[in-house]
Structure 1
Amino acid sequence: MLVLNGPNLNLLGTREPGVYGALTLAELEARCRAHGAALGLQVECFQSNHEGTLIEQIHAWGLAHRSGQALGVVFNPGAYTHTSIALHDAIKGVEPLPVIEVHLSNVHAREAFRHHSWIAPVAAGSIIGLGPDGYLLALEALARRAGLRSNP
C-alpha cells in the first residue's frame, strides 16, 4: 500500500495548524505504517512537491498492481486536487489500481477554488475533513477491497 502526499504536506505541523493540525508528516506516516501493519499491510509513504514525481509514483504503483505486488494508494494531492488534469489522467491510466483521495481539512468548507476536485472522478472514493483519521479509514477501505481483515 502506498500513502502518497502532494505539495506542502511536508510542512504539516507548522503550516496553518488550525486548518491541518499539529501532527507532522513523519508522525502521520508512522501512524499509517502502524495502522497498516495492524491490518496486515506493508505501507510505504512518499511525499513530493512536484507534480511529475507524483505521476511517476502513480505509474509505478499501477504497474505493481497489475503484477499483484500492490493493493492501492491513499493519496492526498494537496492543491493539485484542484488544478491537475495530469494527475487525473495518471490515475485513470492505471485503472484498476484503487486510489482513495484524502484531505485533512474539509475542502468544501474552505475557499471556493478548493471545492472542485480533478481527482474525485477517477478515485475509488474520497475522505475529506477527518484529519489524520481519514488516512487510516482509507487504509481500512483498501484492505477490505483486497479481501483482507479491516479491523486492527
Structure 2
Amino acid sequence: MKIAIINGPNLNLLGKREPEVYGSQTFEDYFAMLQKKFMNVELYYFQSNIEGELISKIQEYGFSYDGIILNAGAYTHTSVGIGDAMKAITTPVIEVHISNTYARESFRHQSYLSGNAKGVILGFGLKSYELAIQSFFL
C-alpha cells in the first residue's frame, strides 16, 4: 500500500509554531515514527507553502497511490483549486487537521476540501495522521 502525506503552509514550522496548539514535535520526527509503526505501508511525505505545488502533488499521486492524507493548513479555508484537484482524482483523500478547527476562529469552520474527501479527522494532534493511515485499512 502506498500512502502520501501532503502538508500545506506553515506546517514546516511544527515543533516551533504555536506549541500550545500544534505541539513541540517536528513533523520530520513524527514521520519517522509513522514509517516505523507502519512498516507494511510505503509512506511518502511532501510539504509546501505554495498552493500550486500542493495541487500538482495531488494530481501526481491521485491516480496511482492507494491514499492521500492532506493537511492543507490555511488553504483548507480558501482554496477552491485544491478542492477541485481532490475531486478530479481517483485516489481517496483523508482531510486531516492537527487542531480542532471548530474550536478556533470562525473562518476556520469552513472547508473547501471536506466535500471531496473520503473523511475528515481533526483535533487529535499529530495522532490525526496515524488515525488517517488506519482508516485506509477499514
Who is 1:148 aligned against? none
The question of whether the paired residues in 2 share the 8 Å contact of 1:6 and 1:49 is answered with: yes
Structure 1 counterpart of 2:96, from 90, 97, 102 = 102
The question of whether the paired residues in 2 share the 8 Å contact of 1:33 and 1:44 is answered with: no
Who is 1:138 aligned against? 132
Task: Let me know the Cα RMSD of the aligned residues.
Answer: 0.9
Task: Give the number of the structure whose residues are more often strand, by fraction.
Answer: 2
Letter in 2 for 1:50: I
Give 5+ residue unaligned stretches, structure 1.
65-69, 145-152
Who is 2:10 aligned against? 8
Using the size of structure 1 for normalisation, the TM-score is 0.86
Tell me, in whole angstroms, the C-alpha distance in 2 between the residues paired with 1:31 and 1:106.
Answer: 23
- CA drift of 1:62 comes to 1.4
Who is 1:147 aligned against? none
- CA drift of 1:136 comes to 0.3
Who is 2:52 aligned against? 52
Partner deviation per Cα, 1:103-128 (whole Å, 9 max, x = no partner) = 00000000000000111000000001
The question of whether the paired residues in 2 share the 8 Å contact of 1:104 and 1:132 is answered with: yes
What does residue range 17-32 of structure 1 map to in structure 2 within 5 Å? 17-32=19-34
Tell me, in whole angstroms, the C-alpha distance in 2 between the residues paired with 1:16 and 1:81.
Answer: 19
Give 5+ residue unaligned stretches, structure 2.
none
Tell me, in whole angstroms, the C-alpha distance in 1 between the residues paired with 2:6 and 2:23.
Answer: 18
Secondary structure of the corresponding residue to residue 23 of structure 1: coil
Secondary structure of the corresponding residue to residue 130 of structure 2: helix
Letter in 1 for 2:62: G
- CA drift of 1:143 comes to 2.8
Partner deviation per Cα, 1:80-139 (whole Å, 9 max, x = no partner) = 000000000000000x31100010000000000000011100000000100011100100
Secondary structure of the corresponding residue to residue 143 of structure 1: coil
Who is 1:72 aligned against? 67
The question of whether the paired residues in 2 share the 8 Å contact of 1:35 and 1:136 is answered with: no
- What percent identity do the matched residue pairs reach? 46
Partner deviation per Cα, 1:18-39 (whole Å, 9 max, x = no partner) = 00111112112212222321xx
